[in-house]
């Protein structure tokens, strides 16, 4: 599932800004030196900003409207939304924008000829890009937040020519993939920014006025340059650095070369999120958007937005393919393309250095479906992170807190590319980042690492393993002798309940309802029969038939949302509905860490699409070949949903580790 | 008639072995067989109708017993019986009218004949009024008749012996002839039901409609294709309909016609239904109480549709309209299919080992063929796709070309009747609570009493080829038979209850006099 909104709006901006400003130390010095510039820039940029805000409002449909922040279209509202050092931060960001913008002007030396229409187009696309990045960083607010600064700096690099790439090249890590390139580039940001600032400041007077008037052509040129840089970087491979730095950038380049070294290692989280050069450009050009964006909760990536998708594609580690015959209703969801990626990704195993091998492995397992089920995925992810943390060492001149958060964010975004996060995973990541953020400064690196590892262990133990045990204890009290228990699919906790009840000596029968295409129920059937439970197996269409004899329905859940909706494997809603129609109590077993404050009304708005191909093939039924080559016909689509939302009125009770909850 | 007997046994065997798939084919072949029966029946001089009825009934019982699940067989048998009664009735009435006209000439002789004549007329009138619902159509049609009918009877008896006997002999041939004619029409009805139903498609499908269906029904396919041919553009979600996965076939066919089709898994029905404007499904049978027996999974769809207030439309030919009141139909009128559809025997053979250890098997596989959609839900949803409108009734002299088009909006029916005589088409929708009326049009109450639906044992012999036997799986069908599961017990108990029930019901509604 792709959802996972960034945790809290309030906390979000904070984190973001912190990430952006760069550690406490750097910004102050800079701001001091740059103060005048900033002011000047601000004044200079004020007209454009007004224009932008207008644009923004007119463009609003492009982005998924974050209702809360509707008012924050214009810049002015931004400060309000950001309670903390908003003013200084903003100024900081502003300055950066200005600086970078100027830099681009200087570098490119293109005359500003502004045509309103082109500008609006551009603004729209930029806007969408911007909104996209949050999606990527969905799970990690920090990442999102930090992405901007990173991106802006990266942008600068791009503008200055491929200098950034060249600079990065000197660093030990070689960017093979676009994503990695992107990542390395932003790393430059801090120092380079300052460097650039200096240069900008020189030319600021002249270029400042130009700022507002960037034309489409200019931007395009910029983009081209960035793309070229990326491509070059890719080709360059490990050791070879692209020496394609443009002449104009040479000066900056040389400086950067030195500066750059540290950043690549540091590998901020931000870099990951804002891979595409495009987003930075926008940021640079349009300060107000950036501001606005800060306080808007990052909306989920909406895949029907072409611009954003384009951008996302470009930065992705995992190659994205155009899905064929997409279902109109679900264009906003990431299309299933994973199957084709697997071999490709496997090939990259040794090239993706930024990724910790254990994380990489888990990602591939998600991709191939070897690990499924929200608990299993969650545990696998945590263990991988734990390993990554164990092997982690803070790069010089970096704060562990920030750098590790960024690193985790990059892992998360990789995992998202492999498969959209489950809600449980999102909560877990939130937890982990929270723990990292709360590490006391005084703590040494090794202490911090071990404390984090033990946190992870404790989380797995308390929130999942022990929680399950508690749930089992609770649930068993609801099983009486002679019961006929129905379950659907394969839920780890329900399986444990059934086995435990059997061990305790309860006499009952189990009805396992299954559905295509996963047929998880067969796995459960195997296990339960092997344990000696009396099982009846049927498919979901026969649910009305079998429900007559059922006395309890036990279901697992991927999440329980704040309106009581149970978000779970597709078909759960059908089972609960039929059970409700037959007056059979439905008990949902869900660990408390899977609860989420989101509200969801249907199964369409957020869902996960599975592989459509598995629908056309029925295992063991060779005669069913009617849908072979289905992709050839544009009128035919196959839809493989992964989740559905069960309305709360179908649910009699939710069993969690904190107890049993009745809705009515 | 060895020939006939051979035909019957052949057909019975086919039914038992489930060689005939689909209600329509079954219905048609049944009707053809019964036509043979009628045509080969030797007609005595008197009481021809009852002889015909007995002949048809005898064959019908065998056929019904052969496959009690295929309700279309029973439906057709009952309709043929009803045809015979109707034809007999109309010829008697005609004769009586004729007699009544001639009666005026001599009054004195006819004293003793008067009573029979009178009673016959009364019976005819009573029968007509009971057999046919007093719909708008009947009211209009019956006015002249009822005005005429009393007149001859009041004017007194009749009767010359010669004219009467001559009349009878001509009548005897005429009866058989009429019955065969009517059966031919019935067969034609069955043949053309898809076209007639799909004629209505455009009236129910609007532009950009989103339709959901499950599995494959030929009626549904024709319905959708007809709408497409009329240039409607709409989108269809097809649930694949495990375990037969006929949805794949339907999807392919629809795509071939250029309809935007999306195949979904059955489990995604609830997720998708909120974006669907209408559910159109086929049915296996429509019961007298308005309930629907349909391929497995439909009940789930119906419940989901109800939840989201999506119109639920069932399209089915008139041969699927069954006069029985179901009791516990999901068990009694169901058929458990082979478990190999669900589980691969090779993979699960180890599970069988576990099972054999304990004596009773641990693993059961349930694979029912049908679902029952209750009519009571209809009451909760009040919007109907079509409101009940004039449902034309059989014309006095002939058999109506009735093609049913039940539209269940949440189990509401719509009915299309096509008139043989004047080619008038009328169509409308009907609430499931109206189904009993339709049944009164198509069936005689006597047949209901006499043809309690027998619940027969599953024919083991026909099931030998089931792979479950080879692997020692507990085949669901055999499982029924072997009596191990509670399904059997439940079934038998249910059956008894049902039998009692239906008797009561029928006695309640069958207070009219037997017209023959």
Q: Dump pLDDT digits (tens) for A284-304.
A: 444 444 444 444 445 666 777
Last residue of a domain, one of B388, B415, B444: B444
Q: What is the DSSP string of A219-251?
A: HHHHHHHHHHHHHHHHHHTTTPPP----GGGHH
Using an 8 Å Cβ cutoff, are A633 and A445 in contact?
A: no
Residue B96 domain boundaries? 2-192
Q: Is B333 on the interface with A (CB under 8 A)?
A: no
Is residue B347 assigned to a domain? Answer: no
Is residue B302 assigned to a domain? Answer: yes
- Block residue for tokens 């109907």: B384
pLDDT beyond 70 at B212: yes
Last residue of a domain, one of B444, B469, B486: B444
Residues A657, A472: Cα–Cα separation, whole Å: 9
Cβ contacts (< 8 Å) between A581 and chain B: which residues? 303
Please check whether residues B13 and B148 belong to one and the same domain: yes
Are B265 and A615 within 8 A, CB to CB?
yes
Cβ contacts (< 8 Å) between B351 and chain A: which residues? 525-526, 529-530
Using an 8 Å Cβ cutoff, are A229 and A277 in contact?
A: yes
Mean pLDDT score, A609-614 = 86
Interface of B with A in 341-380 (CB under 8 A): 342-344, 347-348, 350-351, 354-355, 358, 362-368, 371-372
Is residue B68 assigned to a domain? Answer: yes
Residues A627, B213: Cα–Cα separation, whole Å: 17
Are A571 and B268 within 8 A, CB to CB?
yes
Of B248, B307, B330, Cβ closest to residue A624: B248
Cβ contacts (< 8 Å) between B467 and chain A: which residues? none
pLDDT beyond 80 at B215: yes
Q: What is the pLDDT of residues B446-464, one digit of tens each?
A: 776 544 444 433 333 333 3
Of A539, A574, A607, Cβ closest to residue B269: A574
Q: What is the pLDDT of residue B167?
A: 58
The better pLDDT of the pair A234, A267 is held by A234
Q: What is the pLDDT of residues A418-452, one digit of tens each?
A: 888 888 899 999 999 999 998 888 888 889 999 99
Please check whether residues B388 and B409 belong to one and the same domain: yes
**Continuous H helices in B199-214:** 201-204
Cβ contacts (< 8 Å) between B302 and chain A: which residues? none
Q: What is the pLDDT of residue A314?
A: 66
Mean pLDDT score, B227-250 = 91
- Two tokens, residue B443: 């069936």
Residues B72, A157: Cα–Cα separation, whole Å: 78
Is residue B140 assigned to a domain? Answer: yes
Residues 6+ apart with CB under 8 A from B105: none
Please check whether residues B166 and B288 belong to one and the same domain: no
Q: Which of A335, A542, A638 to mutate to test the interface with B (most CBs of B within 10 A)?
A: A542
Q: Which residue of A has its CA nearest to B361?
A: A534
Q: In which band, very low, low, confident or very high, does the pLDDT at A13 lie, cut at 50, 70 and 90?
A: very low
Please check whether residues B184 and B244 belong to one and the same domain: no
Cα A313 to Cα A276, A309, A550, B353: the distances in Å are 9, 6, 48, 52
Q: In what order do the strands lie in the sheet with A559-561?
A: A595-596, A559-561, A566-569, A643-646
Q: Which of B225, B270, B335 to mutate to test the interface with A (most CBs of A within 10 A)?
A: B270
For residue A660, the SS3 value is strand
Using an 8 Å Cβ cutoff, are A59 and A123 in contact?
A: yes
Please check whether residues B116 and B253 belong to one and the same domain: no
Please check whether residues B282 and B150 belong to one and the same domain: no
Beta strands in B134-250 (DSSP E): 210-214, 235-239
pLDDT beyond 60 at A146: no
Can you give the length of chain A in residues?
664
Interface of A with B in 218-247 (CB under 8 A): none
Q: Which of B215, B225, B271 to mutate to test the interface with A (most CBs of A within 10 A)?
A: B271
Widest Cα–Cα separation across chain B: 91
The better pLDDT of the pair B350, B336 is held by B336
Q: Which residue of A has its CA nearest to B251?
A: A636
Please check whether residues B291 and B413 belong to one and the same domain: yes
Compute the nearest-CA separation of B31 from chain A (Å).
32
Using an 8 Å Cβ cutoff, are A525 and A512 in contact?
A: yes
For all residues of chain A together, what is the average pLDDT?
67
Q: What is the pLDDT of residue B139?
A: 59
CA atoms within 13 A on the CB side of A443: 17
Are A545 and B330 within 8 A, CB to CB?
yes
- Highest mean predicted confidence (pLDDT) among A216-230, A299-313, B88-102, B218-232: B218-232
- Two tokens, residue A57: 């409002």
- CA angle centred on B390, ends B385 and B395, rounded to 5°: 140
Q: Is A578 on the interface with B (CB under 8 A)?
A: yes
Q: What is the pLDDT of residue B325?
A: 82
A333-342, A621-630, B204-213, B435-444: lowest mean pLDDT where?
A333-342
- Block residue for tokens 């029928």: B506
Q: Which residue of B has its CA nearest to A621?
A: B341
Residues B389, A421: Cα–Cα separation, whole Å: 54
Are A637 and B261 within 8 A, CB to CB?
yes
Mean pLDDT score, A357-362 = 88
Q: Could you tell me the CATH number of the domain that includes residue B297?
A: 3.40.50.10470
Are B331 and A536 within 8 A, CB to CB?
no
Q: Is A549 on the interface with B (CB under 8 A)?
A: yes
Please check whether residues B299 and B283 belong to one and the same domain: yes
- Two tokens, residue B444: 């005689």
Are β-strands B235-239 and B260-264 bridged in parallel, bridged antiparallel, or unpaired?
parallel
Residues A611, B201: Cα–Cα separation, whole Å: 34
Of A530, A545, A581, Cβ closest to residue B368: A545
Is residue B439 assigned to a domain? Answer: yes
Residues B24, B38: Cα–Cα separation, whole Å: 21
Q: In which band, very low, low, confident or very high, does the pLDDT at A214 lie, cut at 50, 70 and 90?
A: low
H/E stretch holding B504: helix B486-509
Interface of B with A in 302-331 (CB under 8 A): 303-304, 307, 330-331
pLDDT beyond 70 at A319: no
Q: What is the pLDDT of residues A242-263, one digit of tens each?
A: 444 344 444 444 444 443 344 3
Q: In what order do the strands lie in the sheet with B401-403?
A: B401-403, B413-418, B425-430
The gap between the terminal CA atoms of chain B, to the nearest Å, is 26
Q: Which residue of B has its CA nearest to A568?
A: B271
Please check whether residues B181 and B243 belong to one and the same domain: no
Is residue B358 assigned to a domain? Answer: no
ipTM above 0.90, yes or no: no
Interface of B with A in 138-177 (CB under 8 A): none
Q: What is the pLDDT of residues B407-443, one digit of tens each?
A: 333 333 333 222 222 222 234 455 666 777 777 778 8
Using an 8 Å Cβ cutoff, are A283 and A153 in contact?
A: no
Please report the number of interchain residue pairs, chain A to chain B, with beta-carbon separation below 8 angstroms. 195
Is residue B364 assigned to a domain? Answer: no
Of B252, B300, B362, Cβ closest to residue A533: B362
Using an 8 Å Cβ cutoff, are A205 and A141 in contact?
A: no
Taking each helix axis from N to C end, the angle separating A287-295 and A141-159, rounded to the nearest 10 degrees, works out to 170
Cβ contacts (< 8 Å) between A607 and chain B: which residues? 271
Can you give the length of chain B in residues?
516
Is residue B480 assigned to a domain? Answer: no
Using an 8 Å Cβ cutoff, are B248 and B240 in contact?
A: yes
Output the CA torsion sign for A409, A411, A414, A415.
Answer: negative
pLDDT beyond 80 at A99: no
Give the residue from B237, B212, B250 showing the smallest Cα distance to A626: B250
Last residue of a domain, one of B414, B444, B474: B444
Phi, psi angle pair for B292, to nearest 5°: -125, 135
Which pTM value belongs to this model? Answer: 0.65
pLDDT beyond 50 at A657: yes
Please check whether residues B203 and B131 belong to one and the same domain: no
Compute the nearest-CA separation of B502 from chain A (Å).
22
Please check whether residues B144 and B169 belong to one and the same domain: yes
Q: How many structural domains does chain B have?
A: 2
Long-range contacts of B96-100 (CB under 8 A, 24+ apart): B96/B120, B96/B121, B96/B124, B96/B152, B96/B153, B97/B148, B97/B152, B98/B167, B99/B152, B99/B158, B99/B159, B99/B164, B100/B151, B100/B152, B100/B153, B100/B155, B100/B158
For residue B323, the SS3 value is coil
Residue A415: alpha-carbon gap to chain centroid: 8
Using an 8 Å Cβ cutoff, are A363 and A418 in contact?
A: yes
Please check whether residues B163 and B25 belong to one and the same domain: yes
Are A541 and B307 within 8 A, CB to CB?
no
């Amino acid at each position: 599932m792709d959802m996972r909104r960034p945790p809290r709006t309030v906390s979000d901006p904070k984190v973001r800004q912190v990430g952006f400003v760069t550690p406490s130390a750097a910004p102050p010095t800079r701001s001091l030196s740059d103060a005048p510039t900033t002011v000047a820039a601000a004044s200079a940029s004020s007209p454009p900003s007004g224009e932008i805000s207008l644009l923004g409002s007119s463009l609003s449909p492009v982005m998924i409207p974050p209702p809360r922040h509707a008012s924050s279209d214009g810049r002015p509202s931004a400060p309000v939304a950001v309670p903390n050092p908003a003013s200084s931060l903003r100024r900081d960001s502003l300055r950066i924008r200005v600086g970078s913008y100027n830099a681009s002007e200087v570098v490119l030396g293109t005359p500003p000829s502004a045509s309103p229409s082109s500008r609006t187009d551009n603004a729209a696309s930029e806007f969408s890009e911007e909104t996209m990045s949050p999606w990527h960083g969905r799970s990690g607010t920090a990442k999102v937040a930090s992405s901007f600064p990173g991106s802006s700096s990266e942008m600068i690099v791009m503008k200055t020519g491929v200098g950034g790439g060249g600079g990065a090249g000197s660093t030990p890590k070689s960017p093979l993939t676009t994503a990695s390139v992107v990542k390395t580039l932003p790393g430059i940001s801090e120092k380079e920014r300052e460097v650039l600032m200096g240069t900008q400041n020189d030319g600021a007077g002249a270029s400042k006025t130009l700022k507002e008037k960037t034309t489409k052509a200019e931007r395009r040129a910029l983009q081209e340059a960035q793309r070229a840089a990326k491509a070059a970087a890719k080709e360059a491979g490990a050791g070879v650095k692209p020496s394609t730095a443009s002449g104009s950038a040479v000066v900056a380049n040389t400086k950067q070369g030195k500066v750059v070294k540290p950043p690549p290692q540091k590998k901020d989280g931000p870099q990951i999120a804002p891979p595409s050069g495009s987003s930075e450009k926008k940021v640079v050009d349009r300060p107000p958007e950036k501001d606005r964006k800060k306080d808007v909760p990052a909306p989920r990536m909406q895949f029907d937005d072409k611009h954003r998708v384009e951008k996302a594609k470009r930065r992705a580690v995992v190659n994205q393919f155009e899905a064929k015959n997409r279902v109109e209703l679900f264009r906003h969801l990431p299309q299933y393309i994973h199957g084709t990626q697997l071999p490709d990704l496997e090939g990259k195993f040794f090239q993706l250095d930024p990724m910790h091998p254990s994380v990489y492995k888990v990602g591939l397992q998600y991709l191939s479906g070897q690990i499924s089920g929200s608990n299993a995925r969650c545990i696998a992810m945590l263990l991988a992170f734990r390993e990554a943390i164990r092997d982690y060492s803070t790069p010089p001149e970096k704060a562990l807190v920030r750098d590790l958060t960024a690193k985790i964010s990059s892992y998360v975004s990789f995992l998202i590319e492999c498969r959209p996060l489950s809600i449980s995973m999102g909560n877990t990541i939130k937890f982990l980042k929270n723990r990292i953020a709360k590490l006391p400064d005084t703590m040494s690196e090794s202490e911090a690492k071990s404390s984090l590892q033990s946190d992870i262990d404790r989380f797995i133990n308390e929130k999942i393993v022990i929680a399950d045990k508690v749930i089992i204890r609770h649930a068993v009290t609801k099983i009486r002798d002679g019961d006929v228990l129905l379950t659907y699919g394969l839920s780890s906790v329900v399986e444990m309940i059934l086995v435990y009840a059997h061990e305790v000596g309860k006499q009952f029968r189990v009805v396992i309802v299954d559905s295509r295409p996963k047929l998880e129920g067969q796995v459960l059937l195997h296990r339960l029969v092997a344990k000696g439970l009396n099982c009846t197996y049927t498919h979901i269409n026969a649910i009305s038939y079998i429900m007559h004899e059922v006395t309890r329905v036990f279901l697992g859940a991927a999440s329980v949302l704040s309106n009581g909706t149970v978000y779970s494997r597709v078909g759960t809603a059908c089972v609960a509905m039929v059970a409700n129609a037959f007056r059979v109590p439905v008990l949902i077993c869900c660990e408390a860490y899977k609860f989420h404050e989101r509200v969801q009304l249907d199964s369409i708005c957020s869902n996960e699409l599975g592989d459509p191909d598995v629908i056309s093939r029925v295992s063991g039924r060779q005669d069913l070949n009617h849908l072979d080559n289905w992709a050839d016909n544009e009128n035919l689509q196959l839809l493989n949903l992964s989740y559905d939302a069960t309305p709360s009125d179908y649910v009699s009770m939710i069993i969690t580790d904190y107890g049993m909850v009745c809705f009515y | 008639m060895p020939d006939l007997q051979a035909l019957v046994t052949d057909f019975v065997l086919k039914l038992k072995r489930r060689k005939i798939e689909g209600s329509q084919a079954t219905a048609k072949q049944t009707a053809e067989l019964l036509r043979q029966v009628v045509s080969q029946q030797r007609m005595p001089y008197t009481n021809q109708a009852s002889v015909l009825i007995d002949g048809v009934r005898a064959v019908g019982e065998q056929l019904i017993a052969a496959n009690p699940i295929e309700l279309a067989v029973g439906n057709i048998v009952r309709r043929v019986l009803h045809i015979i009664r109707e034809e007999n009735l109309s010829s008697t009435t005609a004769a009586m009218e004729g007699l009544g006209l001639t009666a005026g000439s001599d009054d004195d002789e006819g004293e003793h004949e008067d009573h029979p004549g009178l009673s016959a007329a009364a019976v005819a009138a009573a029968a007509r009024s009971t057999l046919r619902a007093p719909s708008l159509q009947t009211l209009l049609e019956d006015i002249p008749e009822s005005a005429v009918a009393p007149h001859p009877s009041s004017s007194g008896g009749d009767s010359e012996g010669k004219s009467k006997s001559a009349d009878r002999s001509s009548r005897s041939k005429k009866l058989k002839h009429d019955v065969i004619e009517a059966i031919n029409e019935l067969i034609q009805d069955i043949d053309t039901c898809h076209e007639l139903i799909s004629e209505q498609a455009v009236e129910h499908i609007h532009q950009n409609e989103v339709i959901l269906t499950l599995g494959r029904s030929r009626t549904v396919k024709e319905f959708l294709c007809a709408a497409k041919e009329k240039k409607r553009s709409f989108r269809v979600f097809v649930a694949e309909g495990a375990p037969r996965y006929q949805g794949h076939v339907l999807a392919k066919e629809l795509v071939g016609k250029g309809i935007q089709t999306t195949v979904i898994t059955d489990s995604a029905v609830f997720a998708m239904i909120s974006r669907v404007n209408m559910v159109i499904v086929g049915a296996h049978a429509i019961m007298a109480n308005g309930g629907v027996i349909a391929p497995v999974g439909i009940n789930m769809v119906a419940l989901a549709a109800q939840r989201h207030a999506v119109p639920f439309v069932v399209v089915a030919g008139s041969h699927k309209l069954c006069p029985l009141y179901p009791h516990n139909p999901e068990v009694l009128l169901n058929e458990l299919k082979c478990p190999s559809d669900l589980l691969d025997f090779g993979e699960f053979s180890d599970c069988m080992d576990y099972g054999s250890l304990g004596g009773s098997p641990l693993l059961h596989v349930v694979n029912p063929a049908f679902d029952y959609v209750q009519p009571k839900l209809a009451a909760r949803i009040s919007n109907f796709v079509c409101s009940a409108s004039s449902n034309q009734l059989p014309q006095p002299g002939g058999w109506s070309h009735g093609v049913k088009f039940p539209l269940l909006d949440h189990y509401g029916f719509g009915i299309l009747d096509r008139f043989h005589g004047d080619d008038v088409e009328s169509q409308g929708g009907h609430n499931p609570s109206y189904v009993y009326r339709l049944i009164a049009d198509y069936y005689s109450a006597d047949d209901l009493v006499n043809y309690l639906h027998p619940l027969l044992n599953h024919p083991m012999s026909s099931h030998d080829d089931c792979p479950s036997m080879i692997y020692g799986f507990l085949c669901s069908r055999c499982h029924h038979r072997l009596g191990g599961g509670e399904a059997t017990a439940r079934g038998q108990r249910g059956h008894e209850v049902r039998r009692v029930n239906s008797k009561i019901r029928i006695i309640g509604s069958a207070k009219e006099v037997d017209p023959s």
